[in-house]
Each structure stands twice: as C-alpha cells, then as structure tokens.
Amino acid sequence: MSKKTIIPVGPYHPLQEEPELFKLYCDGEIVKDVKWETGYNHRGIEKLSESKTYDEVFFLVERICGICSTSHPFAFANAVEEIAGIEITDRAKYIRSFIGELERIHSHLLWVGLAGHFLGYNTVFMWAWKYREPVLDLFEMITGNRNSYAMFKVGGVRRDIENNKIPSIQKVMDELKKKTDLITGAVMDDPVIHARTKGVGVLTKEDIIDFAAVGPTARASGVAIDVRKDDPYAAYPLVNWKVITAEEGDVFAKAKVRLLEMYESISIIEQCTEGLKKEKEGDITVKVKEIPEGMGTGRAEAPRGEVFHFVISDGSNSPVRHKIRAPSYTNIATFKKSCIGQTISDATISLAAVDPCYCCTERLASVYDIHKGERIMNAEELIKASVDKTRGLQKCDLS
Amino acid sequence: MDTEKIIQELKQKFDSDIDSVLISSNKRVTVHINPDLLLSMAEYLLQTLGFRFIIASALHTRKGFETYYHFSLDNKSLILNLHVILDKKNPEIESLANMMEAANWIEREMHELLGINFLHHPNQEKLLSEGNWAEGVYPYRKNFIDNIPEDKE
C-alpha cells in the first residue's frame, strides 16, 4: 500500500500573498487529492454593507480586492442603477469603461509576471512588473491613486478625464503596445514555457460548466462567456472589440487568452478616448433623488471573470441585503479538477493559472540607508513625496 | 420576445407549481416557486434551457429564510432568479450540489451563516469559520421581536 504525504501550501506561503491553505495529498511526486481551508480573511463585508449608505458602500466594496478594485464598484453601480432605473451620460460610460479596461491591463500584466516567477522565468516577471508601472502612473494621473481609484458613484463618476490629458494617455498606450508585443513574444515563443504549461492543469468544457467557472479560466477552455458582450453595460456596446477564446484549457491557453485580451483592452481604451473627445467636458453625473424599493442585479467583467452583485433595497438609504460573488469564488474550486494527477511543481502553476485574487497594498513607514543605517525619510516626508509625485503626474508630466 | 418564450415554456412545464413570475425587464426575471420544485426546475434550467448557475443569496426576513438562486442565460443577457421561502423554524431544502459542483461552496456558506440545512449535501462542513466560531450560532440571522404582528412590520 502506498503512503500518502500531505504537503501544505499556505496559509502563508511565497506562492500566495493572501492566506489560504491548500493541502496536497501526494503519492511520491503525484498529487492524488486536494483539500482547502478558507476563511482566514473573512471580513463580513456583505453584513457590513447593510449598515452603510449607498454612497459609502462604494468605498467598502472597492476594498474587497486591491487589484481589481474597480470591478466591484462597477457591478454595484450597475445593480443600484438597475433598481433606480438610472441611465448615465455617455461621457460617464466612456470613463467607466476606460477605467475598467486600464485595470484589466495592469491586472493581466501582474498575473503574467507572477506566472513567470512561479515557473522560474524571472525575466518575464521583471519585464511585466516594470511595464505595469506606467499604467499605474496613468491611474495616479487620472484618479490620484495607483489602486482603489474611488471613481464610481451612483449616477456617474466622481472625476472627469479632461481632454487635455488624452495625448499623455495615448503616449502611454503607444508605448504599452510595443511592450505587450515584447512580453507576448517572450511567453508564446519560449520553448521552456511551452514545456511547463502545455497540457498542464487542463480544464475541459464540461469542467467549466460543472464548476460554473468564469472569465479567462472559462474562455481558455472554449466557453465564450464575457459579461461585457453577453449583458452589455457602460460603453462596451459603443466600441468594437472581440471576445478572446482558446480551446485547449491548459495553463498556456489561459496565458494566451490574457495576453491577447490586453490588445483588445488597449483598443477599447483608444476608442473610449475618441468617444470622450466628442462628449461635453464635465458632463459626468446625473442627479439621483432616491433609491426606491426593489432588487437589482449588477454584473461586471473583472480581469478574473464575472463579478456579481445582488442588492435588495427597501427604499431607505442602505441596502437590506447585498450579496457579492467574486470570480475567484468559482474559479478556485476548479483546482480540484486541474491539479489532481499532476506533479507537485505543476500543481502550483495550475493554481496560479486561475489568477486567485491577491492584494498588493503594502505601505512603507520610513526609508533607511542600508549601509549607514541612517533614516533618509520619515512617514511625513514619504507622504509629501507621494503627494508631490501625484501632483506632478496630474500636470500630465509622465516623464 | 425570447424572455417571454422562456417564461411560457416554464409555465407550460411547471404550471401549477409556479406561484408567480415577476418580470422586471426583458433581461431580469424572478420566478417564485415552492421549495419542493427547486430540484426539477434547476435541472430543467441547466440541462434543457442551457442556463448557467451564478450564485445563490439568502436573507432572513419575517417571512422566513428567503433564498434566491441566480441563473444566467448568457447569449440572451437574461438573469433568472428562482425565489423560495423556507420555513422560519426549520429551514431546509434539497441541495443542488449533487447536480453541479458550483453549488457546493455557496450551500456550505449559507448553512454556516444562516443555518439553512441542505438535504443530501455531499459535505456540509463549514467553509469560512472552521474551528473559530461557535456551533449553532448563525451570524447572518436577525433577531425579530415575535410579538409584533406581521402586518405592522
């Protein structure tokens, strides 16, 4: 009789910055079964939402995830606007889609980098994270923040993207296209990546339907679901783009889908900026009187898949029930299918392939010179440096 | 058009068991059903009409435990909610987890947070608070005062 060994991945593990425990039951090198423990990070957000006003809930749901921090406010806005029957202005629609797509680019770049790192291909990691920086700078220029942009509210957006910023945006996009070519080439043409990812962690179409998986995980297995096309919202019906799919269902297919989606996102952003030029500046909100009694479902396509918000209102200023389903909730469960029968080293990249949601919002308190041990900057000076940088970027100075 | 056709089809098949249908728009429909009907209705939606299960949400109200099962028909932009009301004292309903893996986690979560019992669930263990939360205490339940009549709510 063979002896099974349990290999724990987590709750704190270099592979995953967020706490979650996976127990791999292995026979030799082969994973035979997997069990997990979640709930290390349960914050009771659904319950908390019932005690906040509709305006405050936006700031709350933005903090569910540090990477796709716009997808939750996006879905929540869709849900509340459905209850109240609000139609937002075209300029606000373009700004919403613009932010959504820019977020998709930075999230996919982050994933490509991490996937490269897990495979031991650190050049891709360095490149992807380096070229993600201008995208975050663009966010800082437009919204004042690298993450958690606070752009959304019921009836529109909080800040405008002034037309004089469009040339700087275009400059970043032009540069990004070249860098995306570079990274796509590095991933698609590399024999080592092929060897490590092709035929690894395969999810069939039936698996996707059984687990109701969404986003690039589903699209890489030939299930062409994308809320932006299926249940169009914001400016997505106003621009041209296509849903990227692949048939193989392995880790390579998931990487391919994400990389090609970045080109579509760049194209959507360019079309949105063209749209912005036609609309009147400052026309970004409609007046909202009250949220009537009723229920609404809002969906948005986050970088990882469909985000679903279900809101029940009793006519007061806060929701009675607010159910949130993030895409990783269904995608992580597919690990049971994708990693059994794999070797331990392949199991880790199979997990990373669904892009489980990590948070990257660490902050420094002070900076020391490592040679002399002297403090160079304290917290106030750091905050000042950060504010100065944001102000510099907001003057369209992206140098 | 399509939405109406789907509702017609459902009404033909499950006629007397459907309590009412609320059509909020062409893309959003809520069907109120008897809890006994859930399994056959969900099977029909998933396997015959090609719906995808999104998630389920439950809430505790004076009527009992109201549960919404959300289904999506992606090529028609349609979300169909199945709405059931479970008993106040002894909330239980058949599990969908044997039909699809997608219902497994959310049923465990609803069991843990609201104390709804899912009959024939393959593994109704706690999902979020294993080992750090008291047994039989359900955080999402509300404390209603019993002596207020329902019509004065």
What chain A holds in terms of domains, given with CATH numbers, is: 44-342 (1.10.645.10)
Asked if residue B144 belongs to a domain, the reply is no
Asked if residue B136 belongs to a domain, the reply is no
Shortest Cα distance, chain A CAs vs residue B49, angstroms = 14
Interface test with A, best of B59, B80, B130 (most A CBs within 10 A): B59
CB atoms B102 and A211 under 8 Å = yes
Which one of A39, A295, A308 has the shortest CB-CB distance to B55? Answer: A308
CB atoms A329 and B105 under 8 Å = yes
Q: Does B23 touch chain A (CB under 8 A)?
A: no
CATH number of the domain that residue B16 is part of: 3.30.460.80
- Give the mean pLDDT of chain A: 88
Model ipTM value: 0.92
Q: In whole angstroms, give the CA distance from residue A337 to residue B67.
A: 29
Asked if residue B142 belongs to a domain, the reply is no
Which one of B68, B101, B140 has the shortest CB-CB distance to A333? Answer: B101
Asked if residue B139 belongs to a domain, the reply is no
- Beta strands in A101-187, from DSSP E residues, in sequence order: 152-153, 156-157
Decide if pLDDT at A361 tops 60: no
Which one of A42, A211, A325 has the shortest CB-CB distance to B54? Answer: A325
| Chain A residues inside the 8 Å CB shell of B25 | 82
Decide if pLDDT at A366 tops 80: no
Which of the four pLDDT bands, split at 50, 70 and 90, describes residue A365?
low
Asked if residue B104 belongs to a domain, the reply is yes
Which one of A42, A212, A329 has the shortest CB-CB distance to B100? Answer: A212
Shortest Cα distance, chain A CAs vs residue B74, angstroms = 5
Q: What is the pLDDT of residues A63-93, one digit of tens each?
A: 888 888 899 999 999 999 999 999 999 999 9
At A166 the three-state DSSP class reads helix
| Contact residues for A130 (Cβ-Cβ < 8 A; gap 6+) | none
Asked if residue B143 belongs to a domain, the reply is no
Q: What is the pLDDT of residues B10-63, one digit of tens each?
A: 888 887 778 888 988 889 999 999 999 999 999 999 999 999 999 999 999 999
Domains in chain B: how many in total?
A: 1
Q: Please give the residue range of the domain that contains residue B56.
A: 2-130
| Chain A residues inside the 8 Å CB shell of B129 | 39, 42
Q: In whole angstroms, give the CA distance from residue B53 to residue B38.
A: 13
Decide if pLDDT at A233 tops 50: yes
Q: What is the pLDDT of residues A165-190, one digit of tens each?
A: 999 999 999 999 999 999 999 999 99
Which of the four pLDDT bands, split at 50, 70 and 90, describes residue A333?
confident
Decide if pLDDT at A140 tops 80: yes
How many whole angstroms from its chain centre is CA A389?
24
| Contact residues for A340 (Cβ-Cβ < 8 A; gap 6+) | A31, A32, A33, A34
Asked if residue B54 belongs to a domain, the reply is yes
